[in-house]
């Protein structure tokens, strides 16, 4: 039974949520394995929009389970709000649909305060984080002083951890010139209460998933962020603090690599990035503004305008390599309608040379000028199209050229935000091991 991993192949916001929601009909379980509520995954079903930050994008399908794995950093307040909002809209009627790992690390108030204070102190050179406390929470995890979901379920243990960790946080915050309101007793009370709200969902996810696999269930892993934001493989230090690549899917939920059969990379038909860091194909001109406007490129989490640019074949080929992509789904093809020509970066010019692979040094990437290939554009609207053959020949030629440059098959195109506005050429769940 195939299990499929979905990851962002660019800088995040590729439309992973939409594709995961679409593919959930073929899966039994959807698993988030990294990141936290820095993610904003948008689902549109029959015009009704839902933005999810923590809960996997399969949750709109009754009867399908959604799992938050140990690799996720979880802000329990955000989780409870998301649960309540979904219930108010008539979803998540069965609490058994949601499963949360006891080992997931908890984003505590000091993590958010430190994230924000550090960004402020960095000034111009800041990362441009989402300010959700993601980095400091992963830091505490690796430093072996984190708070986990299981600690919220034992008030005495939680009180001990809060006492030790809050003292350290106060010192760091004072150094950063921040004076947050961190009252230990109030934090313990609030987080123990949040723990009581989450207790019904909390379990040993590794065993839970292992049993699901033994019972022949099909898993769909949902990545957050994107390859170029991976802490090891992205444009360090302008990255998030987790491994966003497909290899982390199993680590972040307690399974082994043999559980994965197919890796689907999601890429926009152009590119976007939120926050700082190198981005060779960025367009700071009218064309960039036009992409932002037509594509509605404003962050689903922070509302910040996204940086926009042409598609970068080097970045995509890199993503194919570090994720082991089996296929690509190209989203937002409709946004390119109406451009006279469309461009794809096929090389980087730097220091008198032309590179044809993404360099590993981000400072070098910063100095690269893209070498573009220009293809004729198309003027036809695409939203209503449902098969590959329906697509205008120039749109098809564009997709085919990307496929050729990257060396990975484009198995689907998204032509609008709605679940139905999709052309699926090949279903990863039908293909299996690849």
Question: From CA 226, how far away is CA 106, in angstroms rounded?
Answer: 22
> Is 332 one of the annotated binding-site residues?
yes
| Whether 87 is catalytic | no
Binders of ligand GDP among residues 322 to 341 (CB under 6 A) are 331-332, 334-335
Instruction: Please report how close the Cβ of residue 266 comes to ligand IMO at its closest, in angstroms.
Output: 9
CA 406 to chain centre: 21
> Is 240 one of the annotated binding-site residues?
yes
Task: Pick between residue 98 and residue 329 the one whose CB is nearest to ligand GDP.
Answer: 329
Give me the residues that bind Mg ion (CB under 5 A), please: 13, 40, 300
DSSP output for 286-326: HHHHHHHHHHT-B-TTT-PBPEEE-EEHHHHHHHHHHHT-S
The three-class DSSP label of residue 397 is: helix
| Whether 434 is catalytic | no
**Sole binder of ligand GDP in the list 2, 35, 36, 40 (CB under 6 A):** 40
**Sole binder of ligand GDP in the list 2, 6, 10, 18 (CB under 6 A):** 18
Q: Which of 105, 111, 141, 343 is catalytic?
A: 141
DSSP output for 19-55: HHHHHGGG-SEEEE-SB-TT--EEEEETTEEEEESSS
**Sole binder of ligand GDP in the list 3, 37, 42, 129 (CB under 6 A):** 42
Give me the residues that bind ligand IMO (CB under 6 A), please: 8, 12-13, 38-41, 127-130, 132, 134-135, 224-226, 229, 240-241, 274-275, 300
> Does residue 307 touch ligand GDP according to CB under 6 A?
no
**Sole binder of ligand GDP in the list 414, 419, 423, 428 (CB under 6 A):** 414
> Is 129 one of the annotated binding-site residues?
no
CB 85 within 8 A of CB 141: no
How many Cβ atoms from other residues are within 10 Å of residue 393's Cβ? 10
Question: From CA 247, how far away is CA 230, in angstroms rounded?
Answer: 11
Question: From CA 220, how far away is CA 65, in angstroms rounded?
Answer: 10
> Does residue 311 touch ligand GDP according to CB under 6 A?
no
> Does residue 412 touch ligand GDP according to CB under 6 A?
no
DSSP output for 202-249: EE-HHHHHHHHHHTT--EEEE--S-GGG-TTTSSTTSS-SS--STTHH
> Is 17 one of the annotated binding-site residues?
yes
Q: Which of the choices ligand IMO, ligand GDP, Mg ion, none does residue 146 contact, using the CB cut-off of 5 to 8 A by kind?
A: none
Rg over alpha carbons for the chain, rounded to the nearest Å, is 21
Give the nearest residue (CB) to ligand IMO.
275
| Whether 210 is catalytic | no
Q: Is 162 exposed, middle or buried (0-12, 13-18, 19+ CB in 10 A)?
A: buried
Task: Pick between residue 161 and residue 307 the one whose CB is nearest to ligand IMO.
Answer: 307
Question: From CA 115, how far away is CA 97, in angstroms rounded?
Answer: 32
Q: Which residues are annotated as a binding site for GTP?
A: 12-18, 40-42, 306, 332-334, 414-416
Residues forming the site for ligand GDP (CB under 6 A): 8, 12-18, 39-42, 44, 296, 300, 331-332, 334-335, 414-417
Q: Which residues are annotated as a binding site?
A: 12-18, 38-42, 130, 144, 225, 240, 300-306, 332-334, 414-416
Residues annotated as catalytic (active site), given as ranges: 13, 41, 141
């Amino acid at each position: 039974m195939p299990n499929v991993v979905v990851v962002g192949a660019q800088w995040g916001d590729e439309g992973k949520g939409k594709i995961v929601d679409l593919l959930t009909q073929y899966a039994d379980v959807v698993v988030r394995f990294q990141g936290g509520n820095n993610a904003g995954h948008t689902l549109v079903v029959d015009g009704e929009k839902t933005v999810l930050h923590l809960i996997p994008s399969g949750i709109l399908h009754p009867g399908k389970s959604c799992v938050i794995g140990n690799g996720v950093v979880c802000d329990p307040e955000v989780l409870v709000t998301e649960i309540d909002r979904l219930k108010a809209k008539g979803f998540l009627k069965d609490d058994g649909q949601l499963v949360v790992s006891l080992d997931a690390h908890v984003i505590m108030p000091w993590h958010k305060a430190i994230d924000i204070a550090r960004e402020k102190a960095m000034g111009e050179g800041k990362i441009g984080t989402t300010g959700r406390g993601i980095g400091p929470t992963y830091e505490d995890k690796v430093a072996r002083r984190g708070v986990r979901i299981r600690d919220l379920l034992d008030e005495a243990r939680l009180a001990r951890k809060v006492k030790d960790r809050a003292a350290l946080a106060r010192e760091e915050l004072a150094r950063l010139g921040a004076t947050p309101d961190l009252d230990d007793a109030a934090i313990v009370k609030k987080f123990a209460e949040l723990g009581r709200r989450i207790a019904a969902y909390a379990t040993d996810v590794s065993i839970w998933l292992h049993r699901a696999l033994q019972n022949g269930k099909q898993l769909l892993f949902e990545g957050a962020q994107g390859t170029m934001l991976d802490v090891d493989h992205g444009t360090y230090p302008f990255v998030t603090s987790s491994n966003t690549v497909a290899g982390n899917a199993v680590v972040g939920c307690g399974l082994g690599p043999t559980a994965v059969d197919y890796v689907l990379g999601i890429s926009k038909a152009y590119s976007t990035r939120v926050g700082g860091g190198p981005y060779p194909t960025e367009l700071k001109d009218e064309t960039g503004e036009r992409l932002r406007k037509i594509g509605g490129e404003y962050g689903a989490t922070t509302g910040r305008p996204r940086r926009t640019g042409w598609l970068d074949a080097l970045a995509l080929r890199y993503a194919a390599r570090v994720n082991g992509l089996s296929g690509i789904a190209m989203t937002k093809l409709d946004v390119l309608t109406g451009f006279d020509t469309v461009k794809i970066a096929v090389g980087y010019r730097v220091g008198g040379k032309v590179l044809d692979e993404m360099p590993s040094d981000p400072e070098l990437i910063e100095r690269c000028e893209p070498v573009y290939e220009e293809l004729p554009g198309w003027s036809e609207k695409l939203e209503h199209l449902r098969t590959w053959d329906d697509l205008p020949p120039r749109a098809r030629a564009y997709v085919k050229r990307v496929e050729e440059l990257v060396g990975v098959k484009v198995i689907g195109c998204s032509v609008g935000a709605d679940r139905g506005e999709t052309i699926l050429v090949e279903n990863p769940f039908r293909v299996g091991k690849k």
